[in-house]
Amino acid sequence: METLLSVRGLHKAFAAPVLRGIDFTVRRGEIHALMGSNGAGKSTLCNIIAGLLAADAGALTLGGRPHRPRSLREAEALGVRMVMQELNLFPTLSIAENLCFQRLGNGLGLLSRRRLAARAEKALARVGLAGLNPSLPVARLGVGQRQLLEIARALADEPALLILDEPTASLTDPQIHRLFGELRRLREAGAGIIYISHRMDEICQIADRVSVLRDGELVATAAAADLDSDRIVELMAGAPLERPARGASGRAGAPLLRVEGLGRDGAFADVSFTLHAGEVLGIAGLIGAGRTELLRAIFGADPADRGSLRLATDGFATARRFRRPADAMAAGIGLVVEDRRDQGLLLPLGIDRNISLASYRSLQGPLGLVKRSAETALAARYCDALAVRCAGTGQPVRELSGGNQQKVLIARWLARDFPVLLFDEPGRGVDASAKARIHHLIREAARAGRGVVVVSSENDELFAVSDRILALSRGRVAGDFDAATVTEEALLAACFRHHGREEQNRAATL
């Protein structure tokens, strides 16, 4: 096969070297998986290819010609398209305008609304969002839908080289399936695709070749058929990974939290369940099923309209509905949000400041003084426990790789001992070994008698941590399963329960 992109001797350093002498090729008509643990340099490499960063040394060629784009726009003109790790949409613009942002107008600079809508509908259909009204503002979409929008935007341009930096981090299986169909179609058309993901199963399904980065060095490139996931993880980490056993943190204890008929208009309705001490409750569902909304309502981030919560702390006597996160936290509930960049992290501030943000009650000395050494120690402890790759606990979070940012966010909530912890997509963008560490910490928390709720779009993750799995379908509970025995098929069927017959059929054929 013909080489599309070739990278020779690529070097890049920020404060410290990040890429060291990378040699890397992508052929026409191949899907090339780029693997590596968090902070290995994957995004940096792709950013250089896509014109967002300049290399310090090294040569790139694209289609045989030297490739040195000075901006994203320039790279795009050469047929390179990238879906970035973080969302880059305009919430105040409509879906159609976001999708066609580069070609909004006719020759006169006037918006051609009809043409935009038509094009948008076509692009949306390719990622399975056919029902969405293209004139809705993006502000009204959930994270999963926004992620699909980004992908639709890239696909619509029929790129020669497509870079996907963790496109599936908040997608569920049906969407991933459809995406893979589109990628294969693009491959048949002769495009080259760089695919970054931390989900091993995906790599085995879709990749033709795999390259592994470790500490900024390319340690291996091989045909996907010649590698299995254990081998890849070993290459990434430089050491074999102990596979965590599936499920089961131990025995569920007394009830901690009762959710009774909770509902929020337009998001979810009539949700009831009981969370026990020592239990990890997984929540499955399709994009837009209302899982995020449910957690936010429990936490008081967006107050619920109906129903209530009862807590063990007062013997389930009072029915409450929190109106502010501060109140929920006072009652012993914590939430790790899904959208880490917009709702979780303080990007310009240091790792220590981000981790300690919810813990100042215990880091506070006399007169409200911050115990700075305790703060630093706390940050250092969790950077260690979660293997955050950083230059120091004071490094601004903005400079961390996506997965490491996620770890910092999780550390903030593990640092306090809430009886009830809610996690929304905790493994988003985190590499396999770090994910295993996070899962371990979650189970540890449960073992210590806390109750944990984990929302995840990744079934493997749910199976790995949960004792019990609740399926949400269109905002309603559609099943309550024992994680040790439930099959993926049964879970998927439950997730589709409240969808139309047609969609259910389509799902069955996946």
Ligand X SMILES: Nc1ncnc2c1ncn2[C@@H]1O[C@H](COP(=O)(O)OP(=O)(O)OP(=O)(O)O)[C@@H](O)[C@H]1O
Q: Which residues lie near ligand X (CB under 6 A)?
A: 14-15, 18, 36, 38-44, 85, 140-145, 170, 267, 285, 287-293, 338, 389, 399-404, 429, 431, 457
CB of 468 to ligand X, least distance (A): 18
Q: Give the phi and the psi of residue 76 in degrees, each rounded to 5.
A: -65, -35
Stretch that binds another protein, among 66-74, 168-176, 206-214, 222-230 (CB under 8 A): 66-74
Please report, in angstroms and rounded to a whole number, the separation of the first and last CA atoms in the chain.
30
Q: Which is nearer to ligand X, 22 or 277 (CB)?
A: 22
Q: Which lies closer to another protein via its Cβ, residue 423 or residue 463?
A: 423
- Residue 399: DSSP 8-state: G
Q: Residue 496's closest CA among 340, 253, 291, 289? A: 289
Is residue 175 involved in binding Mg ion (CB under 5 A)? no
Residue 404 in contact with Mg ion, rule: CB under 5 A: no
Q: Is 393 in the site for another protein (CB under 8 A)?
A: yes
Give yes or no for residue 85 binding Mg ion (CB under 5 A).
yes
Question: Closer to Mg ion at the Cβ: 76 or 339?
Answer: 339
- For residues 214, 1, 168 and 391, what is the CA-based torsion angle, rounded to 10 degrees? 20
Cα separation values, 127 from 83, 172, 368, 373, Å: 14, 12, 51, 49
Contact assessment for residue 123 and residue 99, using Cβ atoms and an 8 Å cutoff: yes
Asked if residue 53 binds another protein (CB under 8 A), the reply is no
Residues 412-471 that bind another protein (CB under 8 A): 412
Q: Using the rule CB under 8 A, is 13 a contact of another protein?
A: no
Q: Is 392 left (phi over 0), alpha (psi -120 to 50) or beta?
A: left
List the single partner that 389 binds among another protein, Mg ion, ligand X, none, CB under 5 to 8 Å by kind: ligand X
Q: Give yes or no for residue 356 binding Mg ion (CB under 5 A).
A: no
Interacting residues with Mg ion between 321 and 340 (CB under 5 A): 338
Residue 292 is a binding residue for Mg ion (CB under 5 A): yes
Q: Diameter of the chain by CA atoms?
A: 72
Look up residue 40 and give its amino acid: A
Task: Rule CB under 8 A: choose which of 9, 23, 59, 90 binds another protein.
Answer: 90
Q: Given the rule CB under 5 A, which of 83-91, 177-185, 263-271, 325-333 is the region that contacts Mg ion?
A: 83-91
Own/partner pairs for 236-243, CB < 8 Å, 24+ apart?
236/35, 236/36, 236/37, 236/40, 236/212, 236/431, 236/432, 236/433, 237/37, 237/433, 238/214, 241/432, 241/433, 241/436, 242/436
- Using CB under 5 A as the binding rule, whether residue 402 contacts Mg ion is answered as yes
Minimum CB separation from ligand X for residue 294, in Å?
Answer: 7
**Residues ≥6 apart with Cβ < 8 Å to 241:** 230, 233, 234, 432, 433, 436
Per rule CB under 8 A, is residue 161 in the interface with another protein?
no
Nearest of 63, 53, 7 to residue 191 by alpha carbon? 63
Q: Which residue in the set 219, 241, 347, 385 belongs to the binding site for another protein (CB under 8 A)? A: 347
> Is 353 near another protein (CB under 8 A)?
yes
Helix, coil or strand: residue 359: coil
Residue 406 near Mg ion by CB under 5 A: no
Look at residue 231 and give its three-state secondary structure.
helix
Minimum distance, C-beta of residue 253 to ligand X, in the bound complex (Å): 28
The residue within the footprint of another protein, chosen from 189, 360, 448, 508 (CB under 8 A), is 360
Structure tokens that stand for 463 in this block: 């199976």
Binding site for Mg ion (CB under 5 A): 43, 85, 292, 338, 401-402
Binding site for another protein (CB under 8 A): 52, 71-73, 76, 88-94, 97, 101-102, 104-105, 109-111, 133, 135-137, 299, 301, 324-326, 328-330, 335, 337, 342-350, 352-353, 356-358, 360, 363-364, 367-370, 372, 376, 380, 383, 391-396, 412
